[in-house]
Amino acid sequence: MIWRFVIQRKLSLILRQLSRRFDMVFFFLSLLLSVSVLTCTLMLFEGYERALKDSILSFNAHIYFFKPGINDLQELDILHIEDYLKNEADYVSSQAVINGQGMLSIGSNLKGVNYRSIEYERNDLPIAYQEIIVDGSHILENSNDIVIGKQLAESNKVAIGDTLYILAGLNKNKSLSSLHQLPLRVVGTFRTGMYEYDMKNIFVTKEQALLISKKSLGIGNYNLLEVKILTDKLENAKKIAAKWERDLGLRYQVFSWINYNGNIFSLLKLEKWVIGIVLFFLIIIASFSTISSTVTSINEDQKKIAILRSIGLEFRKIYQIYYTKFMLLGAFGIICGLGSGWLLASIISRQGIIKMEGQVYLLDKFHVSIEISTLFVIFFSTMSVLSVSILAALARLKTLNIIDVLRINK
């Protein structure tokens, strides 16, 4: 009860001083704004990083098996790899895939797309196929049913039930005159949030993928085997892939999602912390107002300080009074800055005026996210700078001549 009373008294005193002294208001606002800008920026960066990672891993598997050279994986290869993987603790599920590139005919337009087969009836797919479907159905009931990206559908005004055509027979051994069109019926659309995926990818049945790619029916040629591992092992995917490659006698090439996307996330982390360090200088600049406000407060309270010293109060106690006052005000400003930074980032992510260009930034909207550890880093690093500034300003107390002050204010 006593501590609550003391804190309430301190806060009420601080608020009264804020209403009377402009330098205290400037100190509080400068700290709030600098922390707010830093928090908002880091939240948007971390939100972008997390959303990008979620988009990549919802559409792609974690680890991929390929046959060295130009050969495809055969049924025996798939069985051999899956028999090995069943005994691995990190393994969750796998799927053999036929994929490639083709030209999709939409009215009078031709669009380059990436097609890939999907075993839609399975619930344990290595990718989040059913979860990314936003319109229509994920079920490819007929052999020529397809699911296309939401961005591709919207930009070309394709609706559920429309028939599109894909050019088949396009390889080095075929001339343009030998091309023929295969009809495809759109039964659903998917959305990952990543422009490149939603604009250029379609899911097809295994039978349709064989027709498009001109692979031999019945033999079961596959371009790759994709594998899902435990979620908490995602950051170790590269090491796991290397281990599996060695265990299988280097008969297959094994790559992880990190091999394809690791550089992007390394660059994002570097950019985030570089920008964070640059913006942290705003807090250092704001700390100068702390020094100014503390010195001003000491100058205005010279008579009070002199009286306290004359009745025997130690310098250490006076230090503690001013240090506590400004640290409490600073902590309140930092907390308000963290809250306002979160609010500002949330507003930016929800507004529709400023939009991200998906073709440039991969994602087409802002996302907000931040780790608790990042908030603690912001809070304690700012408090450290604040503490140093206040201690530097309190050195003014040592230069205070009590006799002169009392004589002047007599």
pTM of the shown model:
0.74
pLDDT of residue 20 exceeding 80, the answer is: no
Predicted pLDDT at 80: 92
Residue 152: partners with Cβ closer than 8 Å, 6 or more residues away: 111, 113, 158, 198, 199, 200, 201, 202
Please give the sequence-ordered ranges of beta strands (E in DSSP) within 325-409, or none if there are none. none
**Position with higher pLDDT, 64 vs 68:** 64
**Two tokens at 114?**
């990436």
Paired tokens of 40:
């908002």
Band (82; pLDDT cuts 50, 70, 90): very high
CB 15 within 8 A of CB 333: no
Residue 192 Cα distances to 135, 258, 332, 362, angstroms: 13, 19, 40, 11
Q: How far apart are the first and last CA of the chain?
A: 40
Tell me which DSSP letter residue 102 carries: E
Per the model's pLDDT, the better-predicted residue between 15 and 296 turns out to be 296
Quote the pLDDT of residue 177: 47
Dist. CA 308–CA 319, nearest whole Å:
12
Judge whether 234 and 57 are in contact, CB under 8 Å. Answer: yes
CA distance 147 to 65: 25
- The pLDDT value given to residue 176: 47
More confident residue, 376 or 69: 376
**CA atoms within a 13 Å half-sphere pointing along the CA-CB vector of 165:** 12
Integer Cα distance of 330 and 381 in angstroms: 12
Q: How far apart are CA 245 and CA 292, in angstroms?
A: 63
pLDDT (0 to 100) of residue 218 = 47
Mean pLDDT of the chain, nearest integer: 81
The CA distance from 370 to 381, in Å, is: 17
Q: pLDDT (tens digit, 9 = 90+) per residue, 147-192?
A: 999 999 988 899 999 999 887 654 445 444 456 678 899 999 999 8
Identity of the amino acid at 202? I
Closest to 57 measured CA to CA, from 134, 138, 129: 129
- Higher-pLDDT residue of 287, 93: 93
Provide the 3-class DSSP secondary structure of residue 247.
Answer: helix
Percent of residues, the chain, with pLDDT higher than 70: 80
